Amino acid sequence: MELLNKILIANRGEIALRIIRSAKKLAIQTVAIYTVSEKNADYVRLADEAVCLGDGELALTFLNIDKIIQIAISTNSQAIHPGYGFLSENAEFAKACEENKLIFIGPRSEVLDLMGSKPRAKELAGSLGIPVAFSHKIDSGDTLPDEELINFPVLIKASFGGGGKGMELVQNYRELQNKVEKSSRIALNYFGNGELFIEQFIQKARHIEVQILGDNHHNIIHLYERECSIQRNHQKIIEEAPAIFLTPELREKILNAAMKLAKAVAYSGAGTVEFLIDEAGNYYFMEMNPRIQVEHAVTEEVTGIDIVCEQLKISSGFHLSVSQNEVKLAGHSIELRVYAENPATDFTPSSTPLLSVNIPENPYLRIESDINLNQSTKNQFDPLLIKIIATTTDRKSAVNLLKDQIKDLNIIGPETNTKYLETILAHPSYIENNISVEFCKEYHKELVANYLNKLDLPDLSYCIACAIYRTYLKQNIGPDKDVWKYLGYWRSAPSGIRLVVDGIIYLVVLDLSDKLNPSFVLNGLKTEFSVSNQLENCLDIEINNQTSRISAIFENEYILGISVENIQHKILFPGLLKNYPETTESSDDGTLFNNDEIKSPLHGKILEINIKENQIIKKGDLLMVIEAMKSENRILSPKDAIVRKIAVNVGSQVTDRMTLIYLEELR
C-alpha cells in the first residue's frame, strides 16, 4: 500500500496552505486552484502546481464541479481535498469524484448525502436515541409549518453548510416569513443548495463539538471535544480544547453519542459531531460536519495528532495511525479568529488592502494565515485573516498568553475585530469561563466600545509622537533616496504644525532641539517621549513611563496609517518642506451620510433595492442590501426624507464610499 502521490486542493487561503503543509510532510504533490485576483497568494506559490479557475461568481470558480474535476484529471491528480466550506459537504461533488475515479478526501458520497443534510442527520440521531431539539426542513417550494407548531425563538439554518452562513434568529412567525428568502439565497450562493431548516433555539446554550476520525477498515475514534461558545452572529470566533466545564459524566455521554452516530454511518475521514448543552446540563445533537473544521488546530495541539495527515493516510487506504487508547490530552489550547471587519459599523467586511501586520512570535503560539500585504480581500470570500492558537498547560495561562501577544498585532489597512477579541479575553465572564453562545450579544456594547470611542487622550499622544518621529526625526532604517528623510528634519522643523488625526485638526507645538529627548505641546500640555526598538513598520514609544508598541506606515505622501493597541488611526500632516493645504476636506468625520448622499460602507454587490425614486422614507427603513465576503449588509435610512435618485442597480458592483442614494428634505 502506498500513499497518494498527487492531490488537488479544491479550496483557497489558509486551509489550502494547511493542507499543503501536511502533504509536504508525506511527500505528496499538491495542485492549487485559484481565481485571477489571487494569482500571487501564498498557497498558489507554495503548491507544486497551480491552475487558474478564471474569475467571476463562485458558481464559475470554486463551486464549479465540472471545471474542478477536469483540472484534477488534466493534472493527473489522484484525489481532491475539499478543505472546509465551498464543496466540502457537497454529495454531488463527492459522487462526481467517484465517477471519474478520483478519491474524494472525506466520507463516501452516500454518507455526505445523509450527514451533509442537517435535517436528515437529526432524524438519524433521534432514531439512535440521541437527544435532538425540535427542527423542521424547509424546501424552496414548501410552505412553512403552522405557527402553533413552532415554539419561538428558532434559528433558520442552511441544510448543507455551516459557518453561520444564512443563519438567522427569529422571534416570531412574521420574522420567519420575512427572513426565509434571504437565508435561502445566502445558502444557495455559498453552498450551492438553498435548502433550509428551522431549529429550536436553546437559551444560554454552550456549543460543544467532538472531533472524530474513521478509516476504511471500520476503525473509528474520537479526539475528545472542543468548546466553540464564543460566537458573533452565529460565527465562531474563539474556540478551545478541551471543554473544561464538562463533568466527567457529561463528557462521556457526549463522546459516546458522537461515536454512536459515526459508527451508524461507517464514517471515514475527519468529521465533527456538534452538540448544544443547556443551563441544566441537558445535551442535544445539533449537526455533523463531515469535513475538516476551521478550528481543528486546537485539537491537534492538545492531542499531538495531525488531522490533515490522517485524512491523507485514510484516503490512501491506510489504517488509523492511533487507537482510541493512545489518544491522550495534554494542556489547553485556544484559537482566535481575526477577521477583516469593522465592529464600529455592525461588522461590515473591510476589503481595504493590508499594509502592515506584526505577526507574534512565541514557541507556544501557532499562526495559520494566508495574508498578503498590499492585496485586498476578494469580496466573495470569507474575511478571515489570521488564526492565532495558543497552547499551554492550562486555560488561564493560555488566555494570558493570548492577551499578551495579541495586543501588539496592530494591523494597518482593513479594519479588524482584533481589539474586539482582546476585549473578550479580558472580560471577567470569559476569564471565569461563564460563557454561552449569547456572550457576544449580551456584552455587545462593552465589546465594541473601543471602536466607537477610539481616540482617547493616551492614544492621541502616542499617535502624535509617532507622527513627529516618522516625519521630523532621523530614521534608523537605512539610507533613503531622499537624503532629508534619512538625516531627519529636526533642524528645520517648524515650531508649530497642524495634524489631522481621525478627521480632527490639532495644533501641535514641537520642541526638537534635543532630538534624543523630543517633546511637543498639545492643548497647553507638554509631552516628552522616547523611541526604541524601531523595526521596519514598528516602534516602541514611551510616554510617562508607559511604553506602547505602535505600527506606522505611510499610505501615501500625506497620510500616515497608525495602529496603537489594535486600534487604527489616520494622520494627515504637512508634506515635508511643503505648505499644508488649508481645506475643510480633512475635517470630514468619516460618516457615510452627508450632503443628502448615502454612501456605500464597503466594496460589494447590490443584492436588493427596497425603495423607489420619489418615495418617502422613514429613519431606519431598509434601503438596500449589499453582499460582501459572503455577508449581507443592510443599508438603513439615516433620517426621514424623499428618495431623489438611486445611483445603482441590483447586481451593480460598488466600492467603498461610492454614492448609492441621493435624498432630499421633506417639506
Instruction: Tell me the chain's radius of gyration from C-alpha atoms.
Output: 27
Residue 634: which residues within 8 A CB-CB, separation 6 or more?
622, 624, 625
What is the bridge-based pairing of β-strands 103-104 and 79-81? parallel
494 burial (CB, 10 Å; 0-12 / 13-18 / 19+) is middle
Give the Å distances, CA to CA, from 279 to 206, 228, 247, 282, 435.
8, 16, 13, 7, 11
Q: Judge whether 254 and 225 are in contact, CB under 8 Å.
A: yes
* Amino acid at position 585, single letter: E
Q: How far apart are CA 459 and CA 563, in angstroms?
A: 10
Give the Å distances, CA to CA, from 259 to 212, 267, 618.
8, 10, 54
**Residue 612 has which C-alpha cell?**
423607489
Q: Judge whether 193 and 187 are in contact, CB under 8 Å.
A: yes
The strands making up 622-628's β-sheet, listed across from edge to edge, are: 631-636, 622-628, 604-609, 653-654
Give the Å distances, CA to CA, from 299 to 12, 44, 86, 294, 570.
22, 27, 23, 11, 39
Beta bridge partners of 523: none
Q: Judge whether 337 and 369 are in contact, CB under 8 Å.
A: no
- Catalytically active residues are 291
